Amino acid sequence: MKKLIDYLILTVGAIIVAAGLELILAPNSLVDGGVTALAIMGNYLFGVPIWLIYFALNIPALLFCGKYMGKRFIIRTLYANAVTSIALSLLAPMQAITSSEVLIVLYGGLMLGLGVGLVVKAGGAVDGTEMIAVWAQRKFHIPISTFLLAVNAVILTGAAFVFSLEQAMFSVAVFYIVSKLIDFVLDGLNQGKSVMIISDAPHDVGAKLIEELDVQITYLYGQGGYTGDERLLIYCITNRFMYPKLKEVVMSVDSSAVIEASYVTETAGVKKQNFFEVNRENGK
């Protein structure tokens, strides 16, 4: 069932990418970067179908990345590329759905970013530069959006010569939206808040959080840098919707408490048992 859902996501993402290219960007001489941008520019200059250039350019990138990414990535990427190519060929005869610059930039970027993000999240890629970006992210922990921004700066500069400076400027806006939406699809849906609480009444605050919010907390040992006093710090992870209530509960118990919060993109394996209890069981 998990594999079936993944392939459904791959299919939907690939079709969204194809629709964004053929129905919004390509007919209006705009690009989003990467192999898809080269395919659109090749179609504009030489009349070669976008799907043909797209598929031909992606094969070398896949061959390069495949030995680093494994069989699963190769199969899913081949599938996503096949679906995208078929969808591109089927959508090619259709007319653009809009000619408004604002709608082109907005919805072109949203569709490409959503489609690419879904495919990457399901374990594949639909663009040669994105394949390399996924490889770089897994091997060197380079953010996908940062890698794509660097590589596509050159490609988008080329778009200014193929089309016009104005079209290239619109394309930069499209690419920005695409890169941000990719990050949102990959990380934003799982985003939560990591909270550190420094209080003179840590046990009272902790008990109140567990009682009212059922928050999974951990007690950490700390020492004051100025006074040298030892104290317990409260650490927990919550979501951004519950955070305001958490802050209210903490302040109701200890109005002088210090709360530090930062975003986290993924959490897994959270247990009810806190750090203090684990240490006590281990005799520490």
Say which residue, 108 or 175, is predicted with more confidence: 108
pLDDT for residue 53: 94
d(CA 237, CA 258): 16
Domains of the chain in sequence order? 1-187 (no CATH), 192-263 (3.30.70.120)
The yes-or-no verdict on residue 24 having pLDDT over 80 is yes
pLDDT in tens, 30-65: 998 889 899 999 999 999 999 999 999 898 888 877
Task: For residue 279, report the phi and psi dihedrals to the nearest 5 degrees.
Answer: -65, -35
pLDDT for residue 273: 40
pLDDT in tens, 114-173: 998 999 889 888 888 877 876 787 778 888 768 877 888 888 899 999 999 998 899 889
SS (H, E, C) the chain: CHHHHHHHHHHHHHHHHHHHHHHHHHHHCCCCCHHHHHHHHHHHHHCCCHHHHHHHHHHHHHHHHHHHHCHHHHHHHHHHHHHHHHHHHHHCCCCCCCCCHHHHHHHHHHHHHHHHHHHHHCCCCCCHHHHHHHHHHHHHCCCHHHHHHHHHHHHHHHHHHHCCHHHHHHHHHHHHHHHHHHHHHHCHHHCEEEEEEECCCHHHHHHHHHHHHCCCEEEEEEECCCCCCEEEEEEEEECCCCHHHHHHHHHHHCCCCEEEEEEECCCCCCCCCCHHHHHHHCCC
Residue 254 — pLDDT band, cuts 50, 70, 90? very high
Q: What is the mean pLDDT of residues 201-228?
A: 89
pLDDT for residue 21: 94
pLDDT for residue 271: 47
pLDDT for residue 189: 58
